[in-house]
Amino acid sequence: MGKITRRLMMFGGVAAVGGGLAVGYALLPYTTIDRARKLAGKSGETMLSAWVRIGTDNSVTVIVPHSEMGQGVHTSLPMMLAEELDADWSLVRMEQAPADMAFANLGLARGYLRGDKSIPSWMSGAADFGFRKVAESMNLQITGGSTSVRFTGVDGFRRTGAAARSMLIAAAAAKWSVPAGEIEAKLSKLTHASGKSATYGEMAEAAAAIAPPADAPLKAKKDYTIVGTPKARFDIPAKVDGSAKYGLDLRLANMSYAVVTASPVFGGTLKSVDEAPAKAMRGVKQVVKLPDAVAVVADNTWRAKEAALALKPEWNEGAHASVSSKSIYAAMDAALDAGKFEADHSVGDVDTALKAATKVVEGAYRVPYLAHATMETMNCTAQFENGKLTVWGGFQDGLGARAAAAKFAGIPIDDVTLHHTAMGGGFGRRGSTLNYLKHAIGVARAVQGPVQVVFTREEDMTQDNYRHASVSRMKASLDDKGKVNAWLHQFSEKFDPPEATMVNYDFAHQASRYVTGLNPIPWGPWRSVDHTQMGFFIETFMDELAVSAGQDPFEFRRAHLNGAPRHKAALELAASMANWSTKPAEGRARGIAMREAFGTIVAQVAEVSLGEDGRVRVHNIWSAVDPGEVINPATFTAQIQGGAVYGLTAALYGEITIDKGRVVQQNFPDYDMVRMADAPLHEVRFIESGARTGGAGEPGTAPVAAAVGNAVFALTGKRIRELPFKNFDLKTGTKIASL
Amino acid sequence: MITITVNGAPHEVDVEEGMPLLWVLRDVLNMTGTKYGCGVAACGACTVMVDGAPVRSCSFPAALAVGKAITTIEGLKSGETLHKVQQAWIAEQAPQCGYCQSGQIMAAVALLNEKPQPTDAEIDAAMTNICRCGSYAQIRAAIHAAAKA
Ligand code: FES
Ligand code: FES
């Protein structure tokens, strides 16, 4: 480990790890602080650190480097900082940091460097901008992998709050000539027994002259007054009166609107297009040809959209024109048959144990491609002026997007300004996959003034970066006491996070292996990433093993969790919340599943019935959640519930199919969603085990498909081994869709 | 030229016969509180009220609204006071990303006008808007809270 300097601690204590890397990390924060001050410092206010500003009016402005997607991070991070600062919460405000290097997510970089396994590696590759890995992690401002609270919050905001507090106390001690230990800091006020007192604002300037301490003590949890209590989110009022401005809501003087149509076959290019039909239409200003797309620029979105429909572009379809879901699945199955595996993880000796076993159970599973379908379609507004580029839009990683914009435009990053707008959903789509930014820059090059490039819903659905389709084969042996001895998981395609394939049960022998190179469709991280399919594969098979062993699915899991007390406690709580030991009402059944994702354990029970139409209705979900600790309980509950709805949509309806290299589904009528009538009652309870803080946004998604499928099995005795359930008559277990 | 009345104010707009109300609101009048989600009447993000009834404005020609009272999310407040449905939305902290919520709120206001004390089944039947963030539990609670307010 390199040396931790004082200045570095202010940024979350970036500890450089050995060798050449140490220099970059040691240097960056020094240059960073000045730059951060310049960007965020305002007159009348003193910048105490890059992440908090205390105004002479006693206001506390917390500068958050992450994007708000509805997960509440613009409120929970300030809560963590304000707690350590002992600020008066009513005085706390939030500002989103500009997309500048000064706000690179050093907390994340630090977690990454110390090898925390649960940082998804897709984030380190968030941008293939030609940076080396170190530079990449310095450039991360990403919101994804449920990292905001876990890394920025724990490593950065808490320490920053504590350091700021101790600087204020030190300043008061010097001014009043009293020992620092005698000063109390509470509710944004400093007081001393002598009767002296000052607000933080009054002491802010003096405190700024004090060197930030590296080791200001953090509060004990029992002393918390802000963290752990429900706080209203800062972003909500603007979201109930129509005043929140999303990317699509940007209105600039002289702005035009463009609708793009990209090659429907991934990797295809534009061969030719007759522009005349579009140009003849009212309001159309120009047609812009891009290498892989054509755009119609008009004076409003609707006219651009109608004119885009009038074009009949021809494409060079390229190498993927013949792929289909069928051919992709067939290739995956063939690769699994051929058995050229990449090693994933392995404990013990699975192959020998399986060979020696007397009872072996097998299962084969499959899941399709999925689109993100954020409620606000992809869009970006861009303008070139004097060789400089300005972009406006919703980005999960503002800094990464800025670097990508520079690369797409072929200009230095300092010539790119990026403005964040509110984001109508992210779920991974607005992170590292930026075709909407690329198109916007391409169109803006050809257009005078700002241009808002809009994906129609159809374009959004067919030009996404998809959760990959995957095929899984499971094999496990049961001993004569009905315990699993060996567990082997072989599947196609592994992305991230690496630990998503891990199983938390105590199996003496376990291994996972995969085949790869079989996905011709653009991939992107999708809420909970590989946990989505792994949750379904692993927890469905676990249920099959319980049945084979003649055991209750809850008791069977529980018996395999002696080495995982947190998991066991969550499982037990979920079962007791659901009254697992009692019989459900006539016509209903329950299923159970659990998953640890992004540091948070979620055990779920689902209770279902079947409709006349053979479709499943999920009445209730009970989730027992151990995220280590809960910052804002209201937000966390909503994230677990919302995450489960996202996973339930995938389980019930979600299916993107490929035909002739194209995405078949176009819009919500053929890519349906869970709506109010489908949404279960969902009770969430937390276990604050004190373990390192886990994520909120994604863990609720991972177990739900298995919990529902296991409940369907309990009801019907029919095991559904592929998603989505809409393709089956669940009463008979027969497939009613063709693929 | 047609004249439409939005939140009590008349607007003269020069648009095609078939131009959907959604785009007249958003791109001609720059009233962007009403959202685009699908354009095919499948998601409800664009819901406004026309003479008190919920309408999916992406699939409703502006010309059909001539002579009628259009209410959008921007017009729900009276003065500085939020509509009770908006207040309930804040109290229940319903929005996540928030993008669907203008449409959800308009659909809820229309529902409560029709049925001041809706049952869960009536909420299921009337609230068919998509929330991709999955805020349905909070929306349901907010509708019940507004019904009591
Ligand atoms: S945009 Fe009108 S219903 Fe979806
Ligand atoms: S709050 Fe995001 S779509 Fe409803």
- The minimum CA-CA distance between A231 and chain B, rounded to whole Å, is 10
Instruction: For chain B, give the mean pLDDT.
Output: 97
Alpha helices (runs of H) in A411-474, residue ranges in sequence order: 435-446, 457-462
Top-confidence residue, A113 or A51 = A51
pLDDT for A176: 97
- The pairing of beta strand A92-96 with beta strand A60-64: parallel
Which residue ranges make up each domain of chain B? 2-75, 84-148
CA distance A48 to A212: 9
| Chain A residues closer than 8 Å to B125 by CB | 677
Query: At a CB cut-off of 8 Å and minimum separation 6, what does A328 contact?
Result: A469, A518, A519, A520, A521, A658
Q: Residue A214: is its pLDDT beyond 70?
A: no
A63 versus A237: the higher-pLDDT residue is A237
Three-state SS across chain B? CEEEEECCEEEEECCCCCCEHHHHHHHHCCCCCCCCCCCCCCCCCCEEEECCEEEEHHHCEHHHHCCCEEECHHHCCECCECCHHHHHHHHCCCCCCCCCHHHHHHHHHHHHHHCCCCCHHHHHHHCCCCCCCCCHHHHHHHHHHHHHC
Nearest by CB to A239, from B42, B95, B140: name it: B95
Give me the CATH topology for the region B84-148. Answer: DNA polymerase; domain 1 (1.10.150)
pLDDT of residue A99: 58
Q: Which ligand is nearest to the CA of B34?
A: 1
Nearest ligand 2 atom, CA B134: 4
Q: Which residues of B touch A622 (CB under 8 A)?
A: none
pLDDT score of A35: 45
Instruction: Tell if the CB–CB gap between A667 and B38 is shorter than 8 Å.
Output: yes
Lowest mean pLDDT among A12-16, A68-72, A537-541, B4-8: A12-16
User: Which segment, A233-237, A486-490, A597-601, is predicted with the most confidence on average?
Assistant: A486-490
- Smallest CA-to-CA distance from A712 within A571, A602, A592 is with A592
Is the link from the previous residue into A29 a cis peptide, with omega within 30 of 0?
Answer: no
pTM, to two decimals:
0.90
Which of A4-18, A257-271, A723-737, B92-106 has the weakest average pLDDT? A4-18
Q: Which atom of ligand 1 is nearest to the CA of B35?
A: 1
In ligand 2, the atom with minimum distance to the C-alpha of A375 is 3
pLDDT at A167: 85
Report the pocket of ligand 2 as residue ranges, CB < 6 Å: A 70, 375, 425; B 95-101, 131-133, 135
DSSP A374: -
For residue A297, give the 3-state DSSP assignment: strand
What is the sign, positive or negative, of the torsion defined by CA atoms of A270, A275, A277, A278? positive
pLDDT at residue A442 above 80? yes
A240 CB within 8 Å of a chain B CB: yes
Higher pLDDT, A124 or A707: A707
Task: Decide if A300 and B39 are in contact by the 8 Å CB cutoff.
Answer: no
Chain A, 420 to 449: residues with Cβ < 8 Å from chain B are 422-427
Q: Which residues of A touch B72 (CB under 8 A)?
A: 242
Across the interface, of B97, B124, B135, the residue whose CB is closest to A424 is B97
* Ligand 2 atom closest to residue B95's alpha carbon, by position in its atom list: 1
pLDDT of residue B98: 97
Whether the ω angle into residue A497 lies within 30 degrees of 0, i.e. cis, is: yes
A359's tokens:
């009872």
| Closest ligand to residue A69's CA | 2
Q: Do B90 and A236 count as a contact with CB atoms less than 8 A apart?
A: yes
Name the residue with higher pLDDT: A331 or A428: A331
How confident is residue A514, by pLDDT bands cut at 50, 70 and 90? very high
DSSP state of A732: T
Rounded Cα–Cα distance for residues A213 and A374 (Å): 43
Of A414, A728, B143, the C-alpha closest to A719 is A728
Q: Do A300 and B27 touch (CB under 8 A)?
A: yes
Does the pLDDT at position A457 exceed 50?
Answer: yes
| Mean pLDDT value of segment A569-591 | 98
* C-alpha span between A190 and A114 (Å, rounded): 37
Residue B9 reports pLDDT greater than 70: yes
A-to-B residue pairs, Cβ atoms closer than 8 angstroms? 180
Please determine, for residue A671, whether its predicted confidence score (pLDDT) is greater than 50: yes
- The predicted-structure confidence for A46-103, as pLDDT tens digits, reads as follows 333 346 778 778 888 887 766 777 777 788 888 988 999 999 999 998 877 665 544 4
For residues A611 and A685, the model is more confident at: A685
The letter for the amino acid at A99 is A
Work out the minimum CA distance from B67 to partner chain A, whole angstroms.
Answer: 23
Distance between CA B121 and CA A55 in Å, rounded? 51
User: For residue B17, what pLDDT band results from cuts at 50, 70 and 90?
Assistant: confident
Alpha helices of A209-286 — where are they, by DSSP H? 276-279
Q: Which residues of A touch B27 (CB under 8 A)?
A: 257, 300-302
Going by pLDDT thresholds of 50, 70 and 90, the confidence category of residue A205 is confident
Judge whether A497 is closer than 8 Å to chain B, CB to CB.
no
CB contact under 8 A, B37 and A426: no
The confidence band for A697, taking pLDDT boundaries of 50, 70 and 90, is confident
Distance CA B149, CA B147 (A): 6
Nearest CA in chain B to A73: B96
Radius of gyration of chain B (CA): 15
Q: Average pLDDT in the A717-731 region?
A: 96
Alpha-carbon dihedral of residues B30, B31, B37, B38, nearest 10 degrees?
Answer: -70
Q: Across residues B107-122, what is the average pLDDT?
A: 98
pLDDT at A122 over 70: no
Domains and CATH numbers, chain A: 6-232 (3.30.365.10), 247-318+378-454 (3.30.365.10), 327-358+466-735 (3.30.365.10)
Fold exhibited by the domain B2-75: Ubiquitin-like (UB roll) (3.10.20)
For residue A646, list chain B residues with Cβ-Cβ distance below 8 A: 132-134
